Amino acid sequence: MLDHFTTAAHFDHTASDGEEEGQRSATSAPRTSSVSLEDIGFPPDGLWDHNAAYEQRFCYDHGESEYLLGTDNRWMLSTDFEIRDAEVILEAMLEKHKDDPSPLEPHTRRCQAECHGNLLSHVHSVIDSRKHGDLNLYLIEWKACWTPEGNIGNKTWIGASLKVNKNVSCRRSTRVENGFEDRKRRFENMMLVVNIK
């Protein structure tokens, strides 16, 4: 998700308990949590679970390929966001979701997070909340995130997922489709020239 986190990946995705909870009506008051501590906040091993790959591009900031990846919903604490008034912001996002749910459309810019930025910029929706002791938990639906290739653990599933999740509404010329590897090679050659000088 963010630069300093590596990502775990799986292509076959089954709904977690949190996702089933997020599909219920979001109009009831927060309930007491029975969520495992491992399922709250940042993943303990630093590996975010991804469920889909949508696009590929070359990132000049990182000097490597990056992929637009979907991330599993996850329960988070407001303190995970490290910004002032995070709980107020998350509550407002939850109310907005209750009143007017916005579908996650990974191929649209508003549903994409760049490979940098704070954690809040990666939130698409807050879809549920519940109590965990004295703390409020928020079930986060994440935007699809541009993730540097070096931050992805297992990449074997990505090719198949890219084919399945291809944006059919976007017609691309052969020049553009075949150009990614060429642009990457040109950039690497340019870096060699820069490094020689």
Distance in angstroms (rounded) separating the CA atoms of residues 63 and 183: 12
How many beta carbons lie within 10 A of that of residue 174, not counting itself? 7
Closest CA to 92 of 138, 32, 134, 133: 138
| Dihedral sign computed on CA atoms, order 50, 65, 150, 114 | negative
Q: How do beta strands 6-9 and 47-59 pair?
A: parallel
* pLDDT for residue 20: 41
Instruction: Note the pLDDT tens digit of each residue in 112-131.
Output: 999 888 899 999 999 999 98
Do residues 147 and 66 touch, judged by C-beta distance below 8 A?
yes
Q: Is the pTM of this model over 0.95?
A: no
Do residues 145 and 113 touch, judged by C-beta distance below 8 A?
yes
Asked if residue 37 has pLDDT above 60, the reply is yes
Please name the amino acid found at residue 103. Answer: P
At residue 48 the predicted structure's pLDDT band, cuts being 50, 70 and 90, is confident
Percent of the chain past pLDDT 90, that is, above it, reads 49
At residue 57 the predicted structure's pLDDT band, cuts being 50, 70 and 90, is very high
User: Following DSSP, what letter does each residue of 111-158 receive, concatenated?
Assistant: GEE-SSS-GGGGEEEEEEEEEETTEEEEEEEEPEEEEEGGGBS--TTH
* pLDDT for residue 23: 40
* pLDDT for residue 19: 39
Distance in angstroms (rounded) separating the CA atoms of residues 140 and 93: 10
Q: What count of Cα atoms within 13 Å lies in the side-chain half-sphere of residue 78?
A: 19
Which residues have CB under 8 Å from 19's CB, separation 6+?
A: 72, 73
Q: Residue 177 in 3-state DSSP?
A: helix
Top-confidence residue, 139 or 29: 139
Distance in angstroms (rounded) separating the CA atoms of residues 90 and 97: 10
| Pick from 22-26, 35-39, 99-103, 140-144: least confident | 22-26
CA 164 vs CA 92, 111, 126, 172, 174: distances in Å: 34, 19, 27, 17, 19
Asked if residue 16 has pLDDT above 70, the reply is no
